[in-house]
């Protein structure tokens, strides 16, 4: 039998095998589409994707080898942030081209160094104004410190101001003594009153105040001692001494059958003033003391307070250097007393001197600058008001020197009334 040709079904396996061989020999350009799936193994084994990651030293070298990026990162967090922001951008660029890793590394190092230096420069610029302000603030503080020693040295070199010269003595009383029988009214009193003083004399009743002032003004002859007014002996040259003294005695002896205007005119002419001067001064004094409406009335019709005022006006009309007033505010109302005090203070500021006696401790402490406390005809304390009273009030000091307060005992009958 003739061998018959093989059936065509045997050729199909051969063709399929040829097709498979051809399919196996085809290059792999069609496979890049499959790596898009997650399960594709050739995409995971592709060496082309691993080479750029292995050969990109540009991303790792700048971070590891640039000391400029690390130093600011330790000091300032801002430097680290700037360096890290530069590195990823360089990594992405180096992944695209493998042929320029060194250039990318140099650029990354330069960029990192520049970015790292920028915060430090900014910080230095921020600190620069503070460094300039600090010397500016300290400079004024040093200048006064340098001047103070100089001022202190100048003050030390300058001599102290010379002390004020003592004011002249207007009234000097030395060892004044006066006896009435067996009673010693004044027992060796010595006083010194300087020009421009407001001198107060205080003491209990019967202490010798009025007796002392009467001898000072030449109204009573002393048994011993001496009195001078502006250096003039009152008893050796009474007329000259009395010209500079104005007197307001305790027991008023006025020509009360005269009107107020007539009394002032008589007092002025008796002191040697002319008629025109007397009239002008009388009008001023009457206005100051508030007795203008009473000038044409008889003095005998005056009240006790008005009598004091007209007597004080008569004592001041000849403008004496020394006024001696014995209880000038007795029987005087507070308003009139305030007016009189103001007149006397102006007189003292003008260079006059006032010596007055009073029982009002508050008045003496408020008005006078010097005081003497007389008890039993002796001066127990004298000087400025502050020196005499010390830490106490003048009244407490006076009561202490006068013997203290005595408690009233044995008067229970006063509490049982007669009705």
Query: What does the alpha-carbon distance between residue 115 and residue 92 come to, in Å, rounded to a whole number?
Result: 19
pLDDT digits (tens, 9 = 90+) for 371-394: 999 999 999 999 999 999 888 888
Q: Which two tokens stand for residue 17?
A: 């095998």
User: Alpha carbon of 227 to those of 267, 271, 330, 353: distances in Å?
Assistant: 24, 22, 27, 16
Q: Going from the N-terminus, what domains does the chain have, and what CATH number goes with each?
A: 50-130 (no CATH), 169-402 (3.40.50.300)
- Locate tokens 């029982």: which residue? 359
- pLDDT category, 147, cuts 50, 70, 90? low
Asked whether 368 and 384 are in contact (CB, 8 A), the reply is no
Q: Is 290 exposed, middle or buried (0-12, 13-18, 19+ CB in 10 A)?
A: middle
**Mean pLDDT of all residues in the chain?**
73
Residue 323 Cα to chain centre, angstroms: 42
Task: Please spell the DSSP secondary structure of 196-253, one letter per residue.
Answer: T-EEEEE--TTSSHHHHHHHHTTSS--SEEEEEETTEETTTSHHHHHTTEEEE-SS--
Count of CB atoms situated within 10 Å of the CB of 402: 17
**Choice between 328 and 83, residue whose per-residue pLDDT is larger:** 328
pLDDT digits (tens, 9 = 90+) for 283-341: 999 998 889 999 999 999 998 888 989 999 999 999 999 999 998 888 788 888 888 89
Side-chain-side CA neighbours of 184 within 13 Å: the count stands at 11
- Locate tokens 């005081």: which residue? 371
- Among 101, 102, 104, smallest CA distance to 90 is for 104
Report whether pLDDT(37) > 80. Answer: no
pLDDT at residue 51 in the model = 47
pLDDT digits (tens, 9 = 90+) for 155-171: 556 777 777 777 889 99
Query: Do the strands 169-180 and 183-194 form a parallel or antiparallel pair, or are they unpaired?
Result: antiparallel
Query: What does the alpha-carbon distance between residue 363 and residue 395 come to, in Å, rounded to a whole number?
Result: 10
Report whether pLDDT(215) > 60. Answer: yes
């Amino acid at each position: 039998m003739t061998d018959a040709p093989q059936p065509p079904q045997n050729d199909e396996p051969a063709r399929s095998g040829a097709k498979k061989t051809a399919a196996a020999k085809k290059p792999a350009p069609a496979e890049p589409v499959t790596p898009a799936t997650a399960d594709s193994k050739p995409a995971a084994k592709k060496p082309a994707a691993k080479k750029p990651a292995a050969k990109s030293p540009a991303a790792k070298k700048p971070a590891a080898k640039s000391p400029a990026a690390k130093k600011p990162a330790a000091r300032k967090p801002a430097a680290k942030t700037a360096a890290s922001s530069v590195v990823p951008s360089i990594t992405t660029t180096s992944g695209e081209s493998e042929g320029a890793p060194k250039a990318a590394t140099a650029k990354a190092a330069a960029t990192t160094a520049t970015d790292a230096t920028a915060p430090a420069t900014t910080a230095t610029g921020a600190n620069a104004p503070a460094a300039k302000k600090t010397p500016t603030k300290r400079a004024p503080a040093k200048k006064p410190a340098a001047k103070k020693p100089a001022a202190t040295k100048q003050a030390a070199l300058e001599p102290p101001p010379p002390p004020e010269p003592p004011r002249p003595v207007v009234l000097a009383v030395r060892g004044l003594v006066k006896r009435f029988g067996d009673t010693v009214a004044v027992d060796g009193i010595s006083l010194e009153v300087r020009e421009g003083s407001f001198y107060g004399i205080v003491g209990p009743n019967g202490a010798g105040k009025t007796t002392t002032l009467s001898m000072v003004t030449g109204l009573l002859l002393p048994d011993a001692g001496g009195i001078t007014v502006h250096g003039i002996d009152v008893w050796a040259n009474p007329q000259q001494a009395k010209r500079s003294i104005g007197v307001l005695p305790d027991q008023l002896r006025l020509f009360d059958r005269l009107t107020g205007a007539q009394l002032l005119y008589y007092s002025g002419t008796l002191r040697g003033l002319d008629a025109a001067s007397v009239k002008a001064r009388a009008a001023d004094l009457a206005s100051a003391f508030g007795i203008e409406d009473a000038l044409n009335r008889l003095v005998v019709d005056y009240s006790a307070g008005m009598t004091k005022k007209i007597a004080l006006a008569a004592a001041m009309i000849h403008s004496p250097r020394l006024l001696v007033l014995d209880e000038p505010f007795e029987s005087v109302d507070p308003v009139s007393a305030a007016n009189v005090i103001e007149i006397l203070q102006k007189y003292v500021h003008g260079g006059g001197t006032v010596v007055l006696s009073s029982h009002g401790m508050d008045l003496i402490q408020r008005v006078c600058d010097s005081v003497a406390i007389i008890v039993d005809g002796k001066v127990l304390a004298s000087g400025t008001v502050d020196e005499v009273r010390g830490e106490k009030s003048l009244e407490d000091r006076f009561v202490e020197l006068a013997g203290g307060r005595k408690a009233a005992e044995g008067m229970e009958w006063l509490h049982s009334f007669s009705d």
